[in-house]
Structure 1
Amino acid sequence: METLQVGRAELTWLSGGVNFLDGGAMFGVVPKPLWSKKYPQNEKNQVELRTDPILLQIDEKNFIIDSGIGNDKLTSKQLRNFGVMEESSIEHSLKELGLSITDIDGVLMTHLHFDHACGLTKKVDNTYHSVFKDIPIYTSEIEWYEMRNPNIRSVNTYWKMNWEPIQDQVKTFNKELELLDGLKMIHTGGHSDGHSIIIFEDGEETFIHMADIMPTHAHQNKLWALAYDDYPVTSVHQKEKWMEFGYQKQAWYTFYHDAYYRAIQFDETGKKMNELRRVRYTYK
């Protein structure tokens, strides 16, 4: 497991699953000759994407950022359509670190699409139960509302089995939530109406988790929005805002979906200064 230290914060990437999605969908209106130079694709025009939660340890607290693709939640058709080659093994990852689910102090949900939220619940005897029992789960008020009241477009990604068992644990916020000194969740919208990013500042050290308004290193260009984005213009403006903010601070940008990089640090001009690569495996 890869680990990154940023000030008081230590980030460790857990094993949350992998899937392969259509490259055109991941890069929206960007022509393939452009995006394919930045991110590899297979013979089916699919790109490899992780769904790996990040264990964030800070001030003797253990948080998890997003929850992975889960286990035994998707139908055989969904597994095929979403190109799922591996499901979650978060508890095993935690065990390797000498931790268990009961050691987690909070789950930070950037948004609640199935590929981020399926790891919140598990199936037991044909019913669903919370994985993080009695642990607070943080998300924006807008996202939590839409999760329970999806529209004609979002109904395919907000699933009752992912929210009903956890509804007593959910803690919502409006625009911004400071969890600890320097650690904030900030509502951005864009990818979903309630989408949030996570920012940590400690003196001169900063990391920014842009979640799905910058899901991979190849989405650094502020104009490269996903076809999956509900509000792509908002994504573009929010990315522009937080990339400018991060460049000035020479921040680390961390990734949940990137199959090649865990994190990249950029300088004031947006040029890569440092990187944390993911250990690569081959999927057949």
Structure 2
Amino acid sequence: METLHIGRGRLTWLNGGVNFLDGGAMFGVVPKALWGKKYPYNEKNQIELRTDPILLQIDGKNFLIDSGIGNGKLTDKQLRNFGVLEESLIVESLSALGLTTGDIDAMLMTHLHFDHACGLTKKEGEEFVPVFENASIYVSAVEWNEMRNPNIRSVNTYWEMNWKPIVQQVKPFENELTIVEGLKMIHTGGHSDGHAILVFEDGEESFIHMADIMPTHAHQNKLWALAYDDYPVTSVHQKEKWMNIGYQKNAWYTFYHDAYYRAIKFNDVGEKIDEVKRERYEYK
């Protein structure tokens, strides 16, 4: 597992699963002739996307950024349509670090689409129960409301089995929430109406987790928004804002979905000056 130290924080990428989605959907109106130079694709024009939660350890606390694609919750049709080759191995990843799901103090949920939220619950017998039994679950109030009351479009990604078992653990926030000193969740909208990012600053060191506003390194271009975005213009404006802020701070940008990079640091003109690559292996 790859790790990165940023100030007081230690980031470790867990194994949350992998799926393959249509490259055109992931890059919206951007022509394949352009995005294809930035991110590899297969013969079906699909791109590899991780769903790997980030274990963030600060001041003796264990936080998890999103929850992975889960286990045994997708139908055979969904596994095929979403190109899922591997489901979550979160328990195994935590065990390798000497931790259990009970050691997670809080889940920092950027949003609650199925590929980020399926790992929050699991099936025991005929019921779904929480995976992270002791964790507070932080998510924007807008996102939490839509999760429970999806519209005709979002009903396809906001699932009852992912929210009903955790109702007592959820702590919604409005615009901005300080988790610990230097670590904030900030509501941005864009990808979903309730989408949030994470910003951590400790002295001269910082990282910004843009979640699905910039899901991979190939989405660095401020105008490249996803076809999956509910509010793409908001995504563009928020990306522009937080890329400009991060560039000036030489901040790290961390990724949940990127199959090639875990994190990249840019200078004040957006040039890559440091990186953490993902260890690659072949799927059986």
- Written as runs of structure 1 = structure 2, the 5 A alignment for 1:1-284 is 1-284=1-284
Structure 1 Cα separation of the partners of residues 281 and 155 of structure 2: 33
Question: Structure 1 residue 135: deviation in Å?
Answer: 1.5
Moved over 6 A (4+): none
Q: State the SS of the aligned residue for 1:168.
A: helix
Question: Structure 1 residue 282: deviation in Å?
Answer: 1.6
Structure 2 Cα separation of the partners of residues 63 and 204 of structure 1: 22
Question: Structure 1 residue 134: deviation in Å?
Answer: 3.4
Structure 2 Cα separation of the partners of residues 28 and 281 of structure 1: 28
Q: Pairwise CA RMSD of aligned residues?
A: 0.5
Larger mean CA deviation between 128-137 and 207-216 belongs to 128-137
Q: State the SS of the aligned residue for 1:167.
A: helix
- TM-score, L = length of structure 1: 0.99
Structure 1 Cα separation of the partners of residues 135 and 54 of structure 2: 16
Sequence identity (%): 76
Question: Structure 1 residue 283: deviation in Å?
Answer: 2.3
Structure 1 Cα separation of the partners of residues 93 and 135 of structure 2: 18
Structure 2 Cα separation of the partners of residues 103 and 132 of structure 1: 8
Deviations 1:71-108 (A, max 9, x none): 00000000000000000010100000011111111000
Contact 2:217/2:261, CA 8 A, preserved across alignment? yes
Structure 1 Cα separation of the partners of residues 142 and 82 of structure 2: 26
Contact 2:111/2:143, CA 8 A, preserved across alignment? yes
Question: Structure 1 residue 47: deviation in Å?
Answer: 0.1
Deviations 1:142-187 (A, max 9, x none): 0000000000000000000000000110001000000111000000
Unaligned runs of 5+ in 1: none
Structure 2 Cα separation of the partners of residues 211 and 281 of structure 1: 24
- TM-score, L = length of structure 2: 0.99
Q: State the SS of the aligned residue for 1:144.
A: helix
Q: State the SS of the aligned residue for 1:246.
A: helix
What letter matches 2:122 in structure 1?
K
Structure 2 Cα separation of the partners of residues 155 and 196 of structure 1: 19
Question: Structure 1 residue 45: deviation in Å?
Answer: 0.4
Structure 2 Cα separation of the partners of residues 108 and 189 of structure 1: 16
What letter matches 1:27 in structure 2?
F
Structure 2 Cα separation of the partners of residues 180 and 246 of structure 1: 20
How many residues are matched? 284
Deviations 1:98-154 (A, max 9, x none): 111111110000000000000000011121001011320000000000000000000
Unaligned runs of 5+ in 2: none
Larger mean CA deviation between 98-107 and 77-86 belongs to 98-107
Structure 2 Cα separation of the partners of residues 195 and 281 of structure 1: 31
Structure 2 Cα separation of the partners of residues 257 and 52 of structure 1: 7
Structure 2 Cα separation of the partners of residues 130 and 219 of structure 1: 33
What letter matches 1:7 in structure 2?
G
Contact 2:142/2:194, CA 8 A, preserved across alignment? yes
Structure 1 Cα separation of the partners of residues 135 and 69 of structure 2: 19
